[in-house]
A and B are shown apart, each in its own frame.
Chain A
Amino acid sequence: MIDADALPAWAALSVAFFVVFGAGLTLIGSVGLLRLATFYQRMHAPTLGTSLGSAGILIGSIIFFSFQGTRPVVHEILLMIFVTVTTPVSFILLMKATRSRPTTKQPEQPD
């Protein structure tokens, strides 16, 4: 199904390595999101997927499409820069929102 005839063997193997590497790290990050105990611990687990996981998969995509065509394809760098820049901003905003909320529910006061 994959049109890999244009790829030399080392390129195909490095694409395979980078894609599996990135997907495995993303899976580890999401399992950490599911299993860690408190919110502040859970917050840093998915950043494994957004930094190293997306870098691995996008580098694999760059290598694959560069050998499919005749010129280097670097569109994925745009996606990499975008994810790397926006994830800390949104997580910092989310953390500030969490700190401004009360940690436990207050019991209702009778009027």
Chain B
Amino acid sequence: MSALVLEWSVIIAQTALSLAMVCAGFRILRGPRAQDRILGLDTLYVNAMLILVTFGIRTGSTFYFGAALIIGLLSFVATVALAKFLMRGEVIE
């Protein structure tokens, strides 16, 4: 019984996170200016990280955690690099 509840709740969580990724993708496609697209990209990164953690719960394997950690790291680096590019016109000066 509790296993069934757990499985369905993880499925519901994955559906909600997929819808959240679709919303962030729409903002990337539609964003009026460049900073809206960067914000959507950062949100997409965080949602992908969380959906990998829920995949780890669903399969019971610990390998998804490393992938989630790397996605979180890349999210920070990508957003900072793009914001620096918007501010100065170049990333490394």
A interface residue numbers (CB < 8 A to B): 1-5, 7, 9, 12-13, 15-17, 19-20, 22-24, 26-27, 29-31, 33-34, 39, 42-43, 46, 49-50, 53-54, 57-58, 60-61, 64-65, 68, 75-76, 78-79, 82-83, 86-87, 89-91, 93-94, 96-98, 100-101
One of B36, B43, B56, B72 near A83 (C-beta < 8 A): B72
In the complex, how many angstroms separate the beta carbon of A85 from the nearest chain B beta carbon? Answer: 9
8 Å CB interface, B41-88 against A: 42-43, 46-47, 49-50, 53-54, 56-60, 62, 65, 68-69, 72-73, 75-76, 79-80, 82-84, 86-87
Given A2-B58, A65-B62, also A49-B20 (CB < 8 A): yes
